[in-house]
Each structure stands twice: as C-alpha cells, then as structure tokens.
C-alpha cells in the first residue's frame, strides 16, 4: 500500500508524476479549486474584519470524498499544486477541506517548475509549509475582484441589461481599448511626401536608392515635404544639380539576443508568428507543461511552468544550453551570460522563464509525438530559449551622405557579418535592405541621376489593439498578472464589449455604454494608475510587507460609497425601454429598443403575448452617394459599428466614420466626420477642414 499521497491540480499530471515516484506514492488530482466564495452572495463579512466565507464548490464533493479516503491510507501528504499564488491557495483550501489540521498527518507543500523526474524528486527533498503570504495575496485579489463584480454588476443589469459584468481588471482593459478607439476616431491624417533618387554608379548593375533628408543649411534641415507643390519644386532644383558623395561612414552594430519567454511575451509572439489567440496559446502551453507522450521517453513535461513574468534561467539549464550550443554551432555562438534583463520590482522571480525542460529535445525529433499546434508552439519556445543564450548578431554598416546642390540625400545599408542568435531565431522584424553594401563607393565615385520618385503619403492613426498589443500594454502599465491576461481578454470578448475582426479588437456599442457608466460612476475602478498601485499592494502582501485585510478594508468603504451614490442617481432616472417610431406590424404597439449581443434591436413591448423583434438601423439623415437611399448605422456580425446604405445588398456603399451630405470641393467624394474635422473619403485625396461649432453641436 502506498505510504505517501501527492495531490496535484490537474488529472493530466497524475500518470506522469506517478511514473516518476514509484509504488510507494499515490498521486491524485483536485481538479483545480475545491473551495471558493459562494456564487449567490458577496461571501465577505464586511461587518467582521472582511472575513471571507468559503464553501465547497458544487460538483467537488465526490473528488473530496475520494481524496479523504486516500488521506486515511497515507503517512505523509504532499500538496503539489501549481507554483504560484493560485496554486498556493488551492493547497491551503485542500488543507482545510480535507480536515488535515485535525488528522495528525504530516502535511507538506512541494512545488516544481517543470514536470520532469529530477524536478519532482528534488521538490520532495525541499518540502516546506504552506506559504501564507502567497495564500493571503490570492485571498486579497479574490476578495477585491468579488467586491467589484458583485457590487457593480447589478447596476449594469439595471442600467443596460442582465448578464453584463464589471471587473477590477476587465473594466480597466475595456477602458484602455475605448481610449484607443477615441484616439483613432479623433485622428486627422496629415499629408507628407517622400523623394527617392535612383543613382547610377559605374560598374554597378543596380542603381543606388538615396532618400531625401532636407536642405543643407537653415531651418529646412531634415524638414518633411508637406505638399506636392513643395515636392515638385525640390525635384526641379535637384534635377539640375550635380550629385556628389559628401561623407561615408563605415561601422558595426550589434543586435542583442532576445530574452527567453515570459507569459506575456509568449502570448505576443505566438499571436504574431503563429496567429494564436492568447487563450489558445495558454491552452497548448498547459498541455506541453503537464506532459505529452514522447516516443521512447513516455509521458513527460517538455516546457517549464507557463505562468511567469521572470526571465531567470536555472543554472543547470544554463549549463545544458552552453554545452548544446558549443557542440552544435561552435563556442563563438554561445553568449557569455545569455540575455539579461534589469530587475523589475513587479517581477515575481520565484519562477523561471518559459523554456524547454531539455534543450537537447529538438522540435523536429519529437514532431511525430505532438499535434501540429503543439509542435509549432514548442518549436517557438525552444528556438527562443536557445537564441536567448547565444551571442549577439553583428552587422557591418555603411552610411553615405550625398549632396545635390542645396539638398541632401542619404543611403544606409547593412550586412550580417556574424549571425549569432539569428542562426536559430528571427522575430519577423528583420528588414531586407534595399541597398546592398557598396564596397567600392568613395568620395570620388561618379553618381548619375537616373530617376526621381516622389510619393504622397498620409500619417496613419494609432493602430487598433490586437490581443498581443493589449497584453503588452497591460503588462507595461502593471495591470493584472501573467495568469490574468488571457482570461481578461476572453471575458470582455464573451460579454461582447469588444469584437475581434482579423486580429484587431474593436469596441462594440455595448462596450461603449458599459465603459461610459464605469467612467462616470466608478472613475477609480477604471483608473489605470489606481489599478497598477493595487497590483503593487498585492505584491507587497506576497512579500509579507503588507497585511491583506488592510488592502481590503482601505478599498471597500470607497467602493461602497460610490455604489450607494450610483444607486441613488440611478433611482432618480426612470429605467424604461426607449420607444422608437417603428410600429409593430403584429399588434400595433410602438416598438422599443432592447440590447442584445450585437447591440440595439427593436422588440414589441407586448412580450410575452407578442414576440415580434427586428433589427434596428439608425438613420443619420445622410443620403447614399451611390443610389440616393438612406445611410444607416449598422454593425458587423461581431458588433463593430459602420455606416451603410439601407438598400444593401443592392447597394454596397459603406464607411467606418460617420458620413455627411457635404461633398469634397477637390474630388467630389463625401466628407466624413473625424473628431473636430471633416475629412475626404476619397482614398487618394487628403482634403480636410475644421468643423464649425454648429456642425460639432449637431
């Protein structure tokens, strides 16, 4: 009979760890949390020191009963849940749910950063007590999130519709996306021009492409070309001038190896390189961490723990990578200390970076044992880790300054002289040079102008957030932690506050409504700095320097006051369905506006007797320039707003910005509203003007 019981979180780990430990050990799974705050009420006693009231999660009774049977048989119990705040809290909940405090058993907490034989056996040698600072950090986070969700969500139900939610992190993430949308809508493009000179060089087949950078002297130095008139004037002057090499600078630059992956950077790179959503990345990484069946090795975890914001690498992994790189590529390819990162107070350094558990386990060698997506993600992690331990890449560079009368052009070119880490990993940002290195070029080289190419451009608005760029922004601003990025994005997508088209995230009408309510009634909750400071306090709890109930007791009174104030203000407003001018064709009542997953629609107020509904298209008083029909506000299937013709599908007119009836004086296209400006809808026309006060107030 097994003497020792090891309790893990996931059933997927059971078989793997049992194989490592042998017959004296029984391994069982808790299937995640076993206790939590009740769903039906707040579950925090605000009158008595904010004590949380935990109950057994519905459906976990049988699991706990089986675990109690195993506990009776065992001499020692090892709680081996995940190595983070959440895992520590699960172990603590198991301790009480299994009544281990009264059983007189020897109970230990063990953690391992990777599911390998050595790591699991080593964890048994370093068994410890449950870390209450980690547990309390999780309790504080859970209670704060519960307070925000359970006090604010009912207000959203009353104001908008049932089924909505607010969250301490999700509401800030929504605000960040809404603020970016406001920036994009207010952006007015500015015209600029570029001028490239194609220069023939004796003995060279391809011309040298030099870029215009400005005049030699005066205020116009490095000034941008802002109009075609200016571009034509410069062309006219340059065509008559003699091109001469003024200065040549040769040098070398290095490109440092990338850092190994953290949760955030893995999600970003997997999105960019593999087109994975954050949720998909975490799901597949979890599979690679918990264990896959490798031919010849059995079931083994092939990457380290996936929720981390540390770039630290264990000494044994460092030594193994040095040996592998030296054997495979040569000693000159090993970077002496690998990539290093400055200490960051936010980093929880208990974990390592995400890396392969065995660097010699090459992706191609185990490809047959992995699914397509598992292979692609493992290969990305393996290559990134190996590259992070390698030497920087080196480039030979040439910078050439060329004069043409009073004007200056420049040429920059580079060539890899030592590939270093690039022999393993490129991040897609390596740009091809339009000019190869010109070895024979000097100040005496004769340059002959072949062609001048002037091109019109317009400045671009800020980019819409993608899942990857949102994760990067959340991390940079200290919002949330590695374990929360993917669930946060998943939640606001599921609530239909935002819509995802291609990779871009767009705010829906529902998201705008919720964000405006949160900004007006709960400005602190959606304040980025406040939320970041709260994360710092939770880190302080984990470090043992801040008391967890102090964080909650300082937060709750302000939240309670804001909720009461909002409840009073909402009580003064008659929350009634807004009537439309549409008449229900079934019963003759005036139809009302309702909110659905894709925004507003029309419904009969006679429900349930009359169940008539229809889509709502808001007329904006603008005539379609193609067919003369009404332009209406519409939404894509995923909830993004646009303006299209009522006669669709017979007429395909559509624009993203609100159109007007005014025509562009230069090209005849209709003008669109963008913030305080009207801009031309024509792709090749940069006309814009300020909107009058009357136009802005309409």
Asked whether the beta carbons of 88 and 130 are under 8 A apart, the reply is: yes
Look at residue 288 and tell me whether its pLDDT is greater than 80: yes
pLDDT over 90 for what percent of the chain? 69
pLDDT tens-digit map of 108-144: 999 999 999 999 999 999 999 999 999 999 999 999 9
Q: What is the 3-state secondary structure (H, E, C) of 4-48?
A: EEEEECCHHHHHHHHHHHCCCEEEEECCCCCEECCCCCCCEECCC
186 CB-near residues (< 8 Å, 6+ apart): 674, 675, 676
Tell me, what CATH number does 125's domain have?
A: 3.40.50.140
CA contacts within 13 A on the Cβ side of 104: 0
Closest CA relative to residue 687, chosen from 309, 106, 238, 228: 228
Omega into 608 within 30° of 0, i.e. cis?
yes
Query: What pLDDT, on the 0 to 100 scale, is given for residue 597?
Result: 58
Mean pLDDT value of segment 69-73: 93
At 425, the pLDDT band (50, 70, 90 cuts) reads: very high
Report the Cα–Cα distance between both ends of the chain, in Å, rounded. 81
Residue 687: helix, strand or coil by DSSP?
A: coil
Domain count, the chain: 5
- Estimate the crossing angle of helix 132-159 against helix 528-543, to 10 degrees: 150
Angle at 56 between CA 50 and CA 57, to 5 degrees: 105
Are 534 and 509 part of one and the same domain? yes
What percentage of the chain reaches a pLDDT higher than 70? Answer: 92
The helix, strand and coil proportions of the chain, stated in percent and rounded to the nearest 5, come to 35, 25, 40
Provide the β-strand partners of residue 28: 7
pLDDT at 440 > cutoff 80: no
459-496: per-residue pLDDT in tens? 999 999 999 999 999 999 999 888 899 999 999 998 88
Contact 154, 575 (CB under 8 A): no
Structure tokens at 633: 């506000």
Backbone angles phi, psi at 274, to 5 degrees: -115, -5
Indicate if the pLDDT at residue 53 is higher than 60: yes
* pLDDT above 80 (res 278): yes
430: left (phi over 0), alpha (psi -120 to 50) or beta: beta
Over residues 16-45, the mean pLDDT reads 94
Final residue of a structural domain among 416, 440, 458: 458
Both 214 and 267 in one domain: the answer is: no
Structure-block tokens of residue 205 = 């087949």
Q: Which of 406, 436, 458 is the last residue of a domain?
A: 458
Average pLDDT over residues 56-74: 94
As a residue count, the chain comes to 698
Query: 155 and 202 in one domain?
Result: no
- 331 and 273 in a single domain? The answer is yes
Do 213 and 245 lie in one domain? The reply is yes
Burial class of residue 84 in the structure, from the number of CB atoms within 10 Å of its CB (0-12 exposed, 13-18 middle, 19+ buried): buried
The average confidence (pLDDT) of the chain is: 89
**Whether 435 and 521 share a structural domain:** no
The helix/strand/coil state of 223 is coil
Annotated catalytic residues are 305
Q: What residues contact 359, with CB distance under 8 A and at least 6 apart? A: 317, 320, 321, 324, 382, 385, 386
Q: Are residues 229 and 197 in the same domain?
A: yes
Please say which residue of 439, 458, 477 terminates a domain: 458
Per-residue confidence (pLDDT) for residue 339, from 0 to 100: 46
Q: Which two tokens stand for residue 38?
A: 């009740």
Structural domain range at position 613: 579-697
User: Encoding tokens for residue 262?
Assistant: 């953290």
Helix axes 170-186, 509-521, angle to 10 degrees: 110
- The reply to whether 365 and 340 lie within a common domain is yes
CATH number of the domain that residue 374 is part of: 1.10.290.10
| Maximum pairwise Cα distance, the chain | 96
pLDDT of 391 > 50? The answer is yes
Q: Transcribe 234-284 into DSSP letters.
A: HHHHHHHSPEEEEEEEEEEEEEPPPPPB-HHHHHHHHHHHH---HHHHHHH
Residue 255 β-bridge partners: 393
- CA–CA separation, 572 vs 594, rounded Å? 21
241 band by pLDDT with thresholds 50, 70 and 90: very high
Same domain, 251 and 237: yes
Phi, psi of 638 (to 5 degrees): -95, 5
Question: What confidence tens digit (pLDDT) does each residue in 536-570 have?
Answer: 999 999 999 999 999 999 999 999 999 998 887 75
Examine the domain organization and report whether 203 and 226 are in the same domain.
yes
319 exposed, middle or buried (CB, 10 Å; 0-12, 13-18, 19+)? exposed
CA separation for the pair 640, 643 (Å, rounded): 10
Token pair 């939320």 is at which residue? Answer: 531
- With the CA atoms of 689, 694, 696 and 698 taken in that order, what torsion angle do they form, in degrees rounded to the nearest 10? -130
pLDDT above 90: residue 41 = yes
CB 30 within 8 Å of CB 10 = no
CATH number for the domain that contains residue 222:
2.70.20.10
pLDDT digits (tens, 9 = 90+) for 135-175: 999 999 999 999 999 999 998 888 777 778 899 999 999 99
Q: Is the pLDDT of residue 436 over 70?
A: no
The reply to whether 454 and 467 lie within a common domain is: no
The predicted structure's pLDDT at residue 575: 42
Assess whether 26 and 122 both reside in one domain: yes
Closest CA to 291 of 521, 672, 681, 27: 27
What integer is the mean pLDDT of 235-254? 93
Query: Which tens digits make up the pLDDT trace of 372-385?
Result: 999 999 999 999 99
State the pLDDT at residue 261: 96
pLDDT tens digits, one per residue of 333-372: 998 654 454 444 444 445 799 999 999 999 999 999 999 9
The enclosing domain of 556 has a CATH number of 1.10.460.10
Q: Are 208 and 438 in contact (CB under 8 A)?
A: yes
């Amino acid at each position: 009979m097994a003497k020792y019981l090891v309790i893990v979180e996931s059933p997927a780990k059971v078989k793997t760890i049992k194989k490592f430990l042998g017959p004296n050990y029984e391994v069982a799974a808790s299937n995640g949390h076993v206790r939590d705050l009740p769903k039906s009420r707040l579950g925090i006693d605000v009158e008595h020191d904010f004590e949380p009231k935990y109950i057994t999660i519905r459906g976990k009774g049988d699991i706990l009963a089986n675990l109690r049977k195993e506990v009776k048989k065992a001499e020692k119990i090892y709680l081996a849940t995940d190595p983070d705040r959440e895992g520590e809290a699960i172990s603590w909940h198991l301790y009480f749910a299994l009544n281990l405090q009264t059983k007189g058993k020897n109970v230990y907490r063990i953690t391992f950063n990777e599911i390998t034989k050595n790591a699991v056996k080593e964890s048994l040698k370093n068994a410890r007590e449950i870390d209450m600072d980690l547990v309390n950090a999780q309790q504080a986070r859970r209670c704060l999130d519960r307070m925000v969700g359970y006090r604010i969500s009912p207000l959203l139900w009353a104001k908008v519709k049932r089924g909505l939610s607010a969250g301490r992190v999700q509401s800030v993430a929504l605000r960040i996306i809404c603020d970016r949308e406001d920036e994009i809508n207010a952006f007015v493009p500015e015209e600029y021009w570029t001028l490239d000179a194609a220069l023939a060089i004796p003995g060279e087949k391809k011309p040298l492409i030099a870029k215009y950078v400005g005049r030699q002297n005066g205020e116009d130095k490095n000034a941008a070309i802002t109009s075609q008139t200016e571009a034509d004037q410069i062309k006219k002057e340059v065509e008559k001038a003699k091109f001469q090499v003024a200065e040549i600078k040769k040098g070398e630059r290095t490109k440092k190896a990338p850092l190994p992956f953290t949760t955030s950077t893995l999600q970003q790179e997997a999105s960019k390189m593999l087109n994975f959503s954050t949720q998909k990345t975490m799901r597949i990484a979890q599979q690679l961490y918990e264990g896959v069946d490798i031919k010849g090795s059995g079931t083994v975890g092939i990457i380290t723990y996936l929720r981390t914001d540390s770039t630290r690498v264990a000494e044994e992994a460092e030594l193994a990578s040095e040996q592998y790189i030296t054997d495979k590529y040569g000693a000159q390819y090993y970077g002496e200390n690998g990539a290093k990162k400055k200490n960051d107070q936010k980093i929880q350094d208990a974990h390592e970076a995400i890396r392969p558990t065995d660097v010699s386990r090459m992706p191609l060698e185990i490809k047959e044992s992995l699914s397509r997506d598992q292979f692609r993600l493992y290969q990305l992690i393996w290559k990134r880790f190996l590259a992070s331990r390698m030497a920087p890449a080196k480039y030979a560079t040439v910078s050439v300054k060329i004069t043409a009368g009073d004007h200056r052009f420049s040429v920059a070119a580079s060539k890899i002289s030592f590939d270093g880490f690039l022999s393993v990993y490129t991040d897609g940002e390596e740009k091809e040079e339009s000019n190869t290195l010109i070895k024979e070029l000097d100040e005496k080289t004769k340059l002959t102008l072949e062609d001048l190419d002037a091109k019109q451009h317009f400045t671009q608005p800020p980019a819409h957030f993608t899942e990857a760029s949102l994760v990067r922004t959340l991390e940079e601003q200290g919002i949330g932690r590695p374990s929360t990025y993917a669930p946060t994005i998943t939640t606001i997508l599921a609530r239909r506050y935002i819509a995802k088209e291609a990779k871009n995230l767009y705010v829906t009408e529902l998201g705008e409504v919720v964000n405006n309510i949160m900004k007006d009634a709960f400005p602190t909750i959606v304040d980025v700095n406040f939320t970041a400071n709260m994360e710092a306090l939770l880190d302080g709890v984990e470090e043992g320097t801040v008391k967890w109930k102090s964080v909650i007791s300082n937060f709750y009174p302000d939240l309670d006051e804001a909720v009461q104030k909002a409840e009073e203000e909402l009580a003064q407003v008659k929350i009634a369905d807004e009537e439309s001018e549409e008449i229900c064709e079934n019963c003759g009542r005036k139809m009302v506006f309702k909110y659905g997953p894709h925004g507003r629609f029309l419904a009969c107020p006679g429900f349930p007797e009359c169940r008539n509904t229809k889509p709502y298209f808001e007329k904006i008083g603008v005539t379609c320039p193609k067919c003369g029909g009404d332009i209406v506000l519409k939404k894509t299937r995923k909830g993004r707003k646009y303006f299209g013709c009522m006669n669709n599908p017979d007429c395909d007119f559509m624009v993203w910005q609100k159109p007007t009836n005014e025509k562009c004086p230069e090209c005849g296209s209709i003008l669109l509203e963008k913030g305080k400006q009207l801009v031309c809808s024509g792709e090749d026309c940069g006309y814009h003007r300020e909107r009058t006060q009357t136009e802005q107030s309409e």
